[in-house]
Amino acid sequence: MAKKTPGEHAATIASGYAFEGEVIHLGAALVDGEIHAEAQVRLPLSMMNRHGLVAGATGTGKTITLQVMAEQLSSLGVPVFLSDIKGDLTGLSSPGTASEKLLARTASVGMDWSATGFPVEYLALGGDGTGVPIRATIASFGPLLLSRVMDLNETQESCLQLIFHYADTKELELYDLKDLRAVITFLSSAEGRVELEGLGGVSKATAGVILRGLVTLEAQGMDRFFGEPEFETAELLRMAPDGRGVISCLELPTMMQKPALFSTFMIWLLADLFAELPEVGDSDKPTLVFFLDEAHLLFNGASKAFLTSITTTVRLIRSKGVGIFFVTQTPKDIPSDVLGQLANRIQHALRAFTPDDAKALKATISTFPTSDYDLEEALTQAGTGEAVVTVMNEKGAPTPVAWTRMRSPQSTMGPSAPDTIAQVLAASALMGVYGTAVDRVSAFERLNAAPPVTVPTAQAPASTGGSVGGGVPAAGQSQGDIDAEARRIEESILGRPSSLSTSASSPGTSGHARPETPTRAPTPATETAGNPLMDMALQAANALGGELLRGMFGTKRRRRR
């Protein structure tokens, strides 16, 4: 095949990345070291739920790429969830600072740059950080996921299921680790063994293994994750009052020391979303997009059961409109079963300093489509802020490989000032809903007659909009505004009738311009309106499907407001 001229090569890239629908702009193509601004490299918004990989050596610009994509998704009204281990992504809250060098770079790639801050909600696992504490109850987490986290064998897992069953039948609420410990201790006592005589019982040896597993979880910091108030995953689906998607930024300052805590949280979060979200098929835009930075920490030392859960979730959650992008150093950090599900690739520079590095480089090259580039040269000589890109086009085929000069963020590159972070947290309505740790009367108190304890924290209004889980409006919002947002999530995203009355209050009385609900393709429910029997059948099918999905992960349905 004759070698293409630089102009022909650039034209091939330009036509390969020309899409009809909305797109995420990544940058401009580089051919023979020259930038071709007319050859724009883009990612179709409708293909974001086909998942992706952002990889590259330390310092090559992976986190900045993540930031650029999150900004554009937010601007297009798509909520984003991202993990922030180094604290660099707090800069999304603050408008960037213009400089002569920055403006020259952005102009060279065809970008009309302007300083912009974005609606960001800071979250923290169990309060391990400065953000809004995220907690889950032991009951909603369920015995299957808990067994997988503790790496229990089949016999121990069945005993844990028996313990949960007993707690349910006796109305012993399992909110935190001490509740579960109290029930296990009781059932392994002489008095408790009588209670389980008809169900097989729990041996002292098995109870001891599970109790030691709970001690290990506490040592890894999970005692702060399990508890109340439980975080509503619907909070991740919000849009800000100005119509932009809310960026939920999860602080992970101690993930290096507590990788199991993050793994546990991700299992629970993805399982809950997987069970709650309806099937949307091929939609014009994703419902939610995840960016998991330093993803190798998610898989390091992970149990086989966890890897199986993640692989299954990544494979199936696409049809729910959820996209997952893993951000790591090399593709080999991601298990092959997961890597095979990632259709969009943004590969920053790789370093080949050792024989193992050289082997990894060759393996990476082999995963790209046939290219007009010398991929070994491209992957080893790409500069900071450059990447080799191939994505899935709107027809489901890979695009031409493009050596790309990436765009720059419009927000601050690096952490926001401490005062800015404090201001965002002070304005968060979620802090008022989830910031106060609550220890209600539950299994521990019922079995030990101990009084409940409440740890107070401050409440403040929100700049990202109110809490749909708690029904709390933000500063400048009316109750009608937050009720309208809750109805939008329930009806347009979760695909079920809202529990809120449409006549209770009128949205928009605060002066905010409410975003219009995105138009979706007609569903069977809308097409059969007016047929009561068909409506009832569809509702029953949706409910049954949700319960089957929950059964796969062993999680428990939570009561929504």
Task: Say how far apart CA 245 and CA 465 lie, in whole Å.
Answer: 11
pLDDT tens, position by position, 277-295: 999 878 899 999 999 988 8
Strands 120-125 and 288-292: unpaired
Detail the DSSP E strand segments found in 437-557.
437-438, 454-455
Closest CA to 69 of 96, 40, 42, 109: 42
Closest CA to 95 of 115, 68, 74, 70: 115
pLDDT tops 60 at residue 561 = no
- Taking residue 171's Cβ as centre, other Cβ atoms within 10 Å add up to 8
Task: Say how far apart CA 173 and CA 441 lie, in whole Å.
Answer: 8
SS (H, E, C) 354-398: CHHHHHHHHHHHHCCCCCCCCHHHHHHHCCCCEEEEECECCCCCE
| Contact by Cβ (8 Å): 97, 413 | no
pLDDT of residue 426: 92
* Residue 460's pLDDT band (cuts 50, 70, 90): very low
Which residue carries 């993540």 as its tokens?
Answer: 66
Strands 402-406 and 386-390: antiparallel
pLDDT tens, position by position, 516-558: 444 444 444 444 445 656 555 555 555 555 555 455 556 665 5
pLDDT tens, position by position, 439-454: 999 999 998 875 555 5
DSSP per-residue string spanning 203-262? -HHHHHHHHHHHHHHHHTTTTTTBSBSPPPGGGGG-B-TTSPBPEEEEE-TTTTT-HHHH
What dihedral angle (degrees, nearest 10) is formed by the CA atoms of 127, 129, 131, 134?
-30
Q: Mapping DSSP to helix (H, G, I), strand (E, B) and coil, where does residue 487 land? A: helix
pLDDT of residue 458: 43
> Residue 207 to residues 167, 448, 477: CA-CA distances in angstroms?
15, 18, 50
pLDDT tens, position by position, 324-361: 999 998 888 898 889 999 999 999 999 888 888 888 88
Burial string for 498-515 (b: 16+ CB within 10 Å, else e) reads: bebeeeebebeebebebb
Element containing residue 14 per DSSP (H, E): helix 6-16
pLDDT tens, position by position, 221-270: 788 889 999 999 999 999 999 999 999 999 887 766 677 677 778 878 88
* Mean of all residue pLDDT scores within the chain: 84
pLDDT tops 50 at residue 210 = yes
Backbone angles phi, psi at 501, to 5 degrees: -75, 135
429 or 220, which is more confident: 429
Query: Whole-angstrom distance between the N-terminal and C-terminal Cα of the chain?
Result: 63
Six token digits for residue 490: 């329930």
470 or 30, which is more confident: 30
pLDDT of residue 503: 53
Report pTM: 0.82
pLDDT of residue 515: 42
What dihedral angle (degrees, nearest 10) is formed by the CA atoms of 388, 331, 293, 469?
110
Least confident range from 14-18, 109-113, 479-483: namely 479-483
